[in-house]
Amino acid sequence: MRELQKALIPDDENGDVLRRMLDDGDDLTLARPIDFFHVFAEESDAQDFFAAAAARPELAVEGPDFDDDDGIWEVTATRVMAPEHKAITALEAELTELAAQYRGYPDGWGCDPATTAH
């Protein structure tokens, strides 16, 4: 079953992540918080993105936080959803476009695994 599930996932960066999640025993049908990370050079841009993203009722937004090591501001937008390729890719594109309005960039997404007992 997992092999069929893996075969149906598109062959791109998000698909690679989802296939690794399946290989690790993750149940991709289970909803969980998925974090979408964005970075900004200026605090004011990070704050403006934060406000715009927080206006979306389906998102929880955290930040902006300053990363001393990289000298950047980070904002995380989180949505509870099943890690489904089409939904992740669509939301990632929307948030990338929104971040670009404030001179920001996406920095990937991630989530904790959800497994079912066998």
Mean pLDDT across the chain: 92
pLDDT digits (tens, 9 = 90+) for 24-40: 989 999 999 999 999 99
73: CB partners within 8 A, 6+ apart:
39, 40, 41, 42, 43, 45, 46, 63, 64, 65, 66, 67
> What are the structure tokens assigned to 108, written together?
């990937």
pLDDT value, residue 1: 62
One-character DSSP codes across 1-67 = -HHHHHHTS-SSHHHHHHHHHHHTT--TTS-EEEEEEEEESSHHHHHHHHHHHHTSTT-EEEEEEEE
**pLDDT band per the 50, 70, 90 thresholds, residue 8:** confident
What's residue 118's pLDDT? 44
What's this model's pTM, rounded to 2 decimal places? 0.90
How confident is the model at residue 48, as a pLDDT?
98
Domain ranges of the chain: 29-111
**CA-to-CA distance for 90 and 7, rounded, in angstroms?**
20
CATH class of 29-111: alpha beta
Bridge partners, residue 106, by sequence: 38
C-alpha span between 49 and 97 (Å, rounded): 11
For residue 22, is pLDDT > 70?
yes
Residue 61: its pLDDT value, please?
A: 98
> Is pLDDT larger for residue 11 or for residue 56?
56
pLDDT digits (tens, 9 = 90+) for 63-97: 999 999 999 999 999 999 999 999 999 999 999 99
Top-confidence residue, 114 or 20: 20
- Calpha distance 112→26 (Å, rounded): 9
